[in-house]
Amino acid sequence: MSQKISLAKARGRARRLAMQATYQWQMTADDIDGIKQQFIEENDVNSVDQDYFTELLLGVVQNVEVIDAALEQHMPRRINAVDPVERAILRVATYEFLKRLDVPYRVVLNEAVVLSKKFCAEKSHTFVNAVLDKVARDTREQETASA
């Protein structure tokens, strides 16, 4: 059991770093490999699932058009009009919905809400939750139907 708890914490930390690195990529358009390396060097990655961090970060960048299309179906505005921190959280979570079917959608949704409560404006988590709930219903139809 403690193995699972530590994996959950390590993945939670990986999501936070992936969100922050995605934010940096969005704001600077710097080389993603350089950003990844910077985050690995500047953070205590012993408590982070480094492989998961790398997958999330590179997965968002490589699939950004598909991710944004999935998000914009459920938003009243274009993705680039969304606060950049919220945008990074939404993109990382949507990548997980699309590509990491082994991770329950409720875990992805909860982690995104936790990040938005910590890093975004006061009521941002309600927007993040509403959009991701709809994305989850589209991308994880069977899983959400049985919930």
Domain positions in the chain are 2-142
Q: How far is CA 95 from CA 6, 47, 108, 122, 123, in A?
A: 22, 22, 10, 24, 23
User: Which range is least confidently modeled, 39-53, 83-97, 109-123?
Assistant: 39-53
Q: Out of 2-6, 29-33, 66-70, 78-82, which region has the weakest mean confidence (pLDDT)?
A: 2-6
- Residue 3: band (very low, low, confident or very high) from pLDDT cuts 50, 70, 90: low
Average pLDDT over residues 88-111: 97
pLDDT value at residue 72: 96
- CA angle at 118 for the pair 129 and 85, rounded to the nearest 5°: 70
Instruction: Inform me whether the pLDDT recorded for 34 exceeds 90.
Output: yes
Q: How confident is the model at residue 2 (pLDDT cuts 50, 70, 90)?
A: very low
Of all residues in the chain, what percent carry a pLDDT higher than 70? 97
**In the structure encoding, which two tokens stand for residue 10, read together?**
């390590």
**pLDDT the model gives residue 44:** 84
Confidence (pLDDT) at 102: 96
Question: Residue 5 pLDDT > 80, yes or no?
Answer: no
**CB contact at 8 A, 7 and 49:** yes
Domain 2-142 has CATH 3.40.50.11540: no
Residue 133 has pLDDT above 90, yes or no: yes
The whole-angstrom separation of Cα 24 and Cα 18 is: 10
